[in-house]
Amino acid sequence: MQGAIPPSSSELFRSSDRLSFVYVEHATISRADSAVTFVKEEGVVHCPAASLSALLLGPGTRITHQAMALLGECGTTVVWVGEQGVRYYASGKSVARSSRLLIAQAKLVSNTRSRLAVARMMYQWRFPGEDTSELTMQQLRGREGARVRTVYRQWSERTGVPWERREYDPNNFGDGSPINQALSAAHAALYGIVHAAIVSLGCAPGLGFVHTGNSWSFVYDVADLYKAEITIPAAFEVVSGYTEGMDIGSVTRRAVRDRIRSEKVMERVVRDIQRLLVPEELPEEMLELDVVGLWNEQGEAQRGGMNYGDGGGTDDCYCFVGLSGESSR
């Protein structure tokens, strides 16, 4: 319904409790009250917008302004997907009101020593049993390459799917081998939900610790934590049952979605990002606080919405942060 009041932060689903993603193609996406509707020839499907982490829009889709406004208010990442999900453009809005995680991320990535420490931690999580505390980035990348090759080989042997190397053309999905097509579709789906988790926490997708120079660098960092467990097994299992004419992209996305649900990946992504950036326990309620402070050179935050013109602090002005994230004075 046009003009409906957007949901408050307390009414939104927590990041860890949301659905993973929905992929839609050849449909019109609109709005009905607090739900988005998918209109196709087969009929109409309703989905509560606040329960959705990422919406992947494939070829032949159209979306209304009202639907985008609702998804934006709910913090849902909307991803425009190219052929079979290989190429995409994303936009989203954070449901977090606090910038605490964003500030922590910026501090860590801006210092070489702390950036390396976070990178080592992520590699340690991916490869338990190995001591990464003294390794350089070049050594870490070497270990990663060897481990990833081992994972591919193990799943090839387990499923009987031939494996040579990772090779794909982002401009021509169908030109790749079935296993490379499946891996591309699986990784694209994982990137979508990881991006959704990152922006929902108020973090910056472009401030990566291992990857750099891309607006999705941190997305690739975090997604790499789960590929060996989620996307690589799903891709090999799908291709092991491949038959001529099968839509590999669609089948793989469903397999990834099932694994994400069964392994509670959304909950883990949110928890792992917080562990990386803020080691101490951070209640998710803190991300919903609408607090605007004033910075000073001592690194402290002073109360906002005060008039400091006479050296004191009076309530002659005010600062209110609404759902749009804009302040009024």
Same domain, 87 and 150: no
2 within a domain of the structure (yes/no): no
Domain that holds residue 321: 290-329
Same domain, 270 and 224: yes
| Burial (CB count <10 Å: 0-12, 13-18, 19+), residue 41 | exposed
Radius of gyration over alpha carbons of the chain, in Å?
A: 22
Question: In the chain, how many domains are there?
Answer: 3
φ, ψ for residue 313, nearest 5 deg? -150, 110
282 within a domain of the structure (yes/no): no
177 within a domain of the structure (yes/no): yes
More confident residue, 114 or 279: 114
Q: Span 105-132, mean pLDDT? A: 92
Q: Span 19-47, mean pLDDT? A: 86
Confidence band for 232, pLDDT divided at 50, 70 and 90: very high
Q: What is the pLDDT of residue 303?
A: 63
Same domain, 263 and 115: yes
Q: What is the pLDDT of residue 266?
A: 79
d(CA 211, CA 225): 13
Q: Please tell me the chain's helix, strand, coil percentages from 3-state DSSP, rounded to the nearest 5.
A: 45, 15, 40
Same domain, 47 and 114: no
More confident residue, 75 or 219: 219
Same domain, 237 and 117: yes
Confidence band for 66, pLDDT divided at 50, 70 and 90: very high
75 within a domain of the structure (yes/no): yes
* pLDDT exceeds cutoff 50 at 318: no
3 within a domain of the structure (yes/no): no
178 within a domain of the structure (yes/no): yes
b/e sequence 161-172, b meaning 16+ C-beta within 10 Å? bebeeeebeeee
Same domain, 132 and 64: no
39 within a domain of the structure (yes/no): yes
CATH of the domain at 78: 3.100.10.20
Same domain, 232 and 306: no
Q: What is the pLDDT of residue 249?
A: 86
The 10s digit of each residue's pLDDT in 236-272 is 999 999 888 888 988 998 899 889 888 888 788 888 9
The 10s digit of each residue's pLDDT in 160-216 is 999 998 887 666 666 778 999 999 989 988 988 788 788 878 899 999 999 999 989
CATH of the domain at 187: 1.20.120.920
Confidence band for 2, pLDDT divided at 50, 70 and 90: very low
Same domain, 242 and 122: yes
- Using the 3D structure, point to which of 91, 112, 133 is the last residue of a domain: 91
Instruction: Name the residue with tokens 């979605």.
Output: 257
Same domain, 106 and 174: yes
pTM for the model stands at 0.71
Q: Are 197 and 73 in contact (CB under 8 A)?
A: no
164 within a domain of the structure (yes/no): yes
Same domain, 156 and 257: yes
- Using the 3D structure, point to which of 236, 253, 277 is the last residue of a domain: 277
Same domain, 313 and 228: no
Same domain, 30 and 161: no
Q: Which residues, in sequence order, are CB contacts of 213 under 8 Å at separation 6+?
A: none
The 10s digit of each residue's pLDDT in 34-65 is 899 999 988 999 988 887 877 878 788 999 99
- Using the 3D structure, point to which of 26, 59, 91 is the last residue of a domain: 91
